[in-house]
Amino acid sequence: MSLFFAYLSVVAALVSGLAALATDKRSELDRLATSLLRRWPKLHARAQCVFSATHYAEYHRNSLFILLGVSGVSAVLASAMALFSGSVVTDTLPFGLPWLHWHIRFDALSAFFYLIIGLVLVAVSLFGPGYVREFEHGKHSLSVLGFFTGLFVAGMELVLLADDAFFFVIAWELMSVSSYFLVAFQHEQASNRRAAFLYLLMAVIGAISIILAYGVLAGFSGGLTFDQFRSVKLTPVWASVAFVLALIGFGMKAGLVPFHAWLPEAHPAAPSHISALMSGVMLKVAVYGFIRFTFDLLDEVYWQWGLVALLLGTASAVLGILYAMQQQNLKRLLAYSSVENIGIIFIALGLALIFFSSGQARLGTLGIIAALMHCLNHALFKSLLFLGAGAILHNTHEQSLENMGGLIHRMPKLSGIFLIGCLSISALPPFNGFVSEWLIFQTALQTGNLDSGVIRSLIPTASAVLALTSALAAGCFVNVYGVAFLGLPRSKHVASCHEVSHQGMLVGPAFLAVFCVLFGVFPTPLIETLNVVTGQLVGSTLPQVSALGWLWVSPVAKEVASYSPFLVLLGILVTVSACYQVFYLRSGRLESRRADTWDCGFGGLNARMQYTSTGFVMPFRRIFQPVFDIDERIEEQKSGPDGFHTQRLRYHLHVSDISWGYVYQPVARSVLGLSRWVSRIQTGNIRTYLAYSFFTLLILLWGIS
């Protein structure tokens, strides 16, 4: 039954894609409808009004996103059924190679990621119609956007269903190609084109290393289905080769540090609701691929793998947030913060690998549950923030934080929802971000049970860096919310904008915000369902989670650590209402009086005197200076005969990613150098060509005799 809904969600996404192709086919549809419905006058009239010139665009746009919504809802239903029943459903589709049809497998792990896709998809389908209206009269037709969105969603869902290497990689690259077209949707700017190209290039290299990783397994198992992979025993060397290839392949798609450069370029280029889907869900599908490969297909894990994943995760986390702080463009900032959160997920996975390899199955399960939970939480609040950024872009046409400000007065409802997003992503207690980060800390704190001293000292340092990251994240999102929403507006657009008109653009993010709070306050039911996932995946669960009742979370044991978010929220509310009673109602209801801000007596405070986001993050730039590639200059334009008085001072600052200088440019230069060297053989002179063929013949003849 759950598989039926899974198929329904894939088909709904595909149908929404195909329906998108009918954007500018209004007249044909009109003729078709009238001819078909001639006999039923009521339907006939209805069709008349639907396909009329004015309403058609509206109906068509809504129908696209309704189909996506249906796909999302059926995905959630499918995952709910599979998670509660804990059943594994397998099937084969008649596509694929003659001797290897597509194998489908819908188990708890795929169901959990289906839940992530479903939730974000419902939010996006609510948000979409209002946001996409702007693209209608733009240069690019809606059909391209709708078609590839449908393909993109279907691709992601198929990746989760795949149970053999061939179908997995097909769905994987279908996802990459369709998202390439979405990133290249607004292709009049050259930066979007460059971002799209870099994105697809990294996707190709990632996909190939995934194919090779499956190749190693296929080599030893003789077949291509995952069941054959599960039964094969690999030698440590080959298993490590497969693991490294998988780490590179999935890490590149997830955005781990050395391969992350495409992420901050690609996500801002795509329309906001697509960047929400990409950042929230596509990165998690990459994590799903990694988990499926390491924990499900490989039968034995080694601690060195865990260490590598831990180190990469820590590097991604701290570098991701440091770069996020230095960005002015809001969507680039959110993209870099996705790199940080993926780093956190890989820290949890690294810990799980280390614990599994040293025999601590329960702590390993805790690590996986922390990682899965952070996947869900990140999907929720990152999509919320991207949709919020999209709403701001839609109303104020501003992407840079430098020109925003005071939005809380003009868009109160949106700013409330955005605040919940910022609170959750900064991992603050009553919200969901904190619960998963707390679980990761609990996993790291159990290093006492490990035997090797080196790991026992490395894990605390890694978790100290994780603490630094979460504090920096709090700083970063104070900067974002403070600069964007509070204070005085810094540009005309922002000053004159008004609340989001289309209801859907508020209901979508609000839907996600509700879930952020819900999973933050009641995490135990979520962890119980995750127990089902790990039970199937690695065969062990966390029995002690609801030892103190379902309001509490006690991952390892009652006395080791326990946290009850509901009571924390209750405590805060009780204290706030007590203070309100005592200090406001009882003491004469003194209303607060409005007056001018304190300006040290000079007067004339204006928006330019506020702290900009560059100013706000200046201390971090100075402290973590070696990590950035900073180009900071002050240009002085002198005037007068001997250049005494300065005409104009211009302060120029550009912070760029060091990975460009150390990783990407050298590779590009070496390839071009190699191709220039090789192209010398095409000299254009026929006699040299004849000489080539002559000497090839002689060498071969000499070789075989």
Residues 516-575 that bind other proteins (CB under 8 A): 548, 552, 558-564, 567-568, 571-573, 575
CA atoms within a 13 Å half-sphere pointing along the CA-CB vector of 57: 11
Residue closer to other proteins (CB basis): 32 or 609: 609
In the complex, least distance from residue 637 CB atom to other proteins, rounded to whole angstroms: 26
Question: Other C-beta atoms within 10 Å of 146: how many?
Answer: 28
Which phi-psi region, left, alpha or beta, contains residue 312 (left: φ > 0; alpha: ψ -120 to 50)?
Answer: alpha
When the beta carbons of 600 and 634 are compared against other proteins, the nearer one is 600
Write the CB contacts of 335 (distance below 8 Å, at least 6 apart in sequence): 263, 264, 266, 267, 268, 275, 279
Site for other proteins in 387-426 (CB under 8 A): 405-406, 408-409, 419, 423, 426
Instruction: Out of 33, 212, 361, 658, point to the residue binding other proteins (CB under 8 A).
Output: 212
Residue 29 or 568: the one with the smaller Cβ distance to other proteins is: 568
Binding window for other proteins (CB under 8 A); candidates: 116-124, 505-513, 536-544, 584-592: 584-592
Residue type, 503: Q
Are the beta carbons of 12 and 70 closer than 8 angstroms? yes
Q: Which residue in the set 225, 436, 447, 534 belongs to the binding site for other proteins (CB under 8 A)? A: 447
User: Please, which of residues 219-258 interact with other proteins by CB under 8 A?
Assistant: 219, 224
State the minimum distance, in angstroms, from the CB of residue 111 to other proteins.
24
**Residue 595 found at the interface with other proteins (CB under 8 A):** yes
Cα-Cα-Cα-Cα dihedral of 283, 391, 26, 39, to 10°?
90
- Is 32 a binding residue for other proteins by CB under 8 A? The answer is no
Amino acid at 84: F
CA nearest to 216, candidates 259, 196, 255, 246: 246
Least gap, CB of 600 to other proteins (angstroms)? 8
Residues 408 and 485 sit within 8 Å (Cβ to Cβ): yes
Least gap, CB of 35 to other proteins (angstroms): 26
The residues in 643-682 that bind other proteins, with binding defined as CB under 8 A, are: 671-672, 674-676, 678-682
Contact 195, 182 (CB under 8 A): no
Q: Which stretch binds other proteins (CB under 8 A): 45-53, 71-79, 293-301, 696-704?
A: 696-704
Q: Does 165 bind other proteins (CB under 8 A)?
A: yes
Nearest approach, Cβ of residue 558 and other proteins (Å)? 8
Residues 307, 418: contact at Cβ < 8 Å? no
Tokens 């804990």 sit on residue: 86
553: β partners: 563
Which residue stretch of 96-104, 275-283, 289-297, 497-505 sits at the interface with other proteins (rule: CB under 8 A)?
Answer: 96-104
Taking CB under 8 A as the criterion, the residue among 45, 58, 576, 647 binding other proteins is 576
Going by C-alpha positions, the residue among 150, 155, 161 that lies closest to residue 64 is 150
The amino acid at residue 390 is G
Number of residues near other proteins (by CB under 8 A): 155
**Separation CA 360–CA 451 (nearest Å):** 11
- Please give the biggest Cα pair distance in the chain: 110
Side chain identity at 650, as an amino acid letter?
A: R
The answer to whether 625 contacts other proteins (rule: CB under 8 A) is no
Q: Considering only 14-22, 91-99, 538-546, 648-656, which stretch makes contact with other proteins by CB under 8 A?
A: 91-99
| 205 contacts other proteins (rule: CB under 8 A) | yes
Q: Which of 599, 631, 632, 636 binds other proteins (CB under 8 A)?
A: 599
- Among residue numbers 111 through 140, which ones bind other proteins (CB under 8 A)? 139
Residues 463-502 that bind other proteins (CB under 8 A): 463-465, 467-468, 470-472, 474-475, 478-479, 481-483, 485-488
Provide the 3-class DSSP secondary structure of residue 105: strand
Q: Which residues pair with 667 in a beta bridge?
A: none
Q: Check residue 553 and report its DSSP letter.
A: B
Question: How many Å apart are CA 68 and CA 152, to the nearest integer?
Answer: 11
**Residue list 50-79, contact with other proteins (CB under 8 A):** none
Please select the residue that binds other proteins; options are 41, 54, 94, 601, rule is CB under 8 A. Answer: 94
Q: Which stretch binds other proteins (CB under 8 A): 15-23, 63-71, 130-138, 613-621?
A: 613-621
Tokens representing 376 are 């869900």
Q: Where are the alpha helices (DSSP H) in 278-329?
A: 283-291, 303-325
